[in-house]
């Protein structure tokens, strides 16, 4: 009996860290209902000064004033890297890169709800979430018009949704960036407005290698041409 109790205690305490990490979507909303939710302004008051202090040296080095007028985020799935770019006039300037802490799935576009794929394409931001289960988050407008078009052509009525760039280091189809990084990006987007942000996600870096369509779907070749063209604008100073 004593051994059984010991085993039960070990199992309970060993599952607590897993529940903390992977059960955040369950327990964090409950905690927020008790502790109260934050606004975007609350987040900026808490993290804004330190986030801007960390960001500004990179902008200074690139010769870009802060806050910039617009930014582009380039995500490369195979390298687990997110590049931050801005502009001086019409000239794109590389600001810095961030490691992607987690991105589930494999190379290739997202097809349906529940496939755990990080989508590939060119996106905008729908909104900022100051009460994310993963610290802070920014929602992509997946599925965009391109995604919806080819989902309809193929008869896929559930291409998926709720794709975010967020904190922590757990991903189910999202880009998990860690807390410090999402604080910087969240504050930066708040400073410039989400309408001034573009996000492009590629399987590999199309500036270095040709994107291969191994899916057998012709529309993926069209998608990869768009992604390649978009990435091709961002070649200075990397």
Contact 82, 96 (CB under 8 A): no
Single out the catalytic residue among 174, 201, 220, 223: 174
pLDDT in tens, 72-92: 999 999 999 999 999 988 899
**Strand bridging mode 81-88 / 137-140:** unpaired
Same domain? 18 vs 52: no
Q: pTM of the predicted model, to two decimals?
A: 0.86
Q: For residue 135, indicate whether it is catalytic.
A: no
Query: How many structural domains does the chain have?
Result: 2
Task: With respect to residue 220, please indicate whether it lies within any of the assigned structural domains.
Answer: yes
Closest CA to 100 of 171, 163, 151, 162: 171
Phi, psi at 162, each rounded to 5°: 55, 55
Which residue among 93, 101, 166, 168 is the active-site one? 166
Whether 105 and 163 have beta carbons less than 8 Å apart is answered as no
Please tell me the distance from the alpha carbon of residue 49 to that of residue 47, in angstroms, as a whole number.
Answer: 6
> Do residues 7 and 69 share a domain?
no
Confidence class of residue 35 from pLDDT cuts 50, 70 and 90? low
Q: 127 and 9, same structural domain?
A: no
Q: In this predicted model, which residue has the larger pLDDT, 30 or 146?
A: 146
Please determine, for residue 27, whether its predicted confidence score (pLDDT) is greater than 50.
no
Claim to verify: residue 24 and residue 44 sit in the same structural domain? no
Q: Is 166 a catalytic residue?
A: yes
Mean pLDDT of 143-172: 96
pLDDT of residue 11: 44
Sheet holding 121-123, edge to edge: 91-99, 81-88, 71-76, 197-202, 121-123
Q: What does the pLDDT look like over 176-199, one tens digit per residue?
A: 999 999 999 999 999 999 999 999
Residue 119 has φ and ψ, to the nearest 5°, of -65, 165
CATH number, domain at 50?
Answer: 2.40.440.10
pLDDT of residue 14 exceeding 50: no
Tell me the per-residue pLDDT of 93-108, one tens digit each, with 9 for 90 and over: 999 999 999 999 999 9
């Amino acid at each position: 009996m004593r051994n059984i109790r010991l085993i039960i205690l070990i199992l309970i305490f060993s599952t607590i860290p897993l529940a903390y990490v992977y059960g955040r979507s369950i327990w964090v909303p409950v905690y927020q209902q008790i502790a109260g939710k934050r606004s975007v302004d609350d987040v900026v008051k808490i993290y804004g000064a330190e986030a801007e202090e960390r960001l500004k040296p990179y902008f200074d080095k690139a010769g870009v004033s802060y806050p910039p007028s617009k930014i582009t985020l380039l995500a490369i799935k195979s390298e687990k890297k997110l590049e931050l770019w801005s502009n001086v006039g019409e000239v794109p300037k590389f600001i810095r890169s961030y490691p992607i802490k987690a991105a589930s799935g494999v190379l290739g576009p997202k097809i349906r709800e529940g496939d755990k794929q990080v989508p590939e394409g060119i996106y905008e931001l729908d909104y900022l979430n100051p009460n994310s289960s993963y610290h802070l988050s920014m929602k992509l407008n997946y599925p965009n018009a391109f995604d919806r078009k080819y989902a309809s052509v193929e008869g896929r009525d559930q291409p998926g949704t709720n794709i975010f760039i967020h904190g922590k280091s757990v991903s189910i189809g999202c880009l998990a960036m860690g807390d410090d990084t999402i604080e910087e990006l969240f504050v930066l987007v708040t400073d410039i407005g989400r309408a001034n942000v573009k996000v492009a996600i590629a399987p590999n870096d199309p500036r270095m290698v040709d994107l291969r369509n191994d899916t057998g779907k012709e529309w993926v070749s069209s998608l990869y041409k768009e992604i390649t063209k978009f990435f091709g604008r961002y070649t200075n100073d990397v």
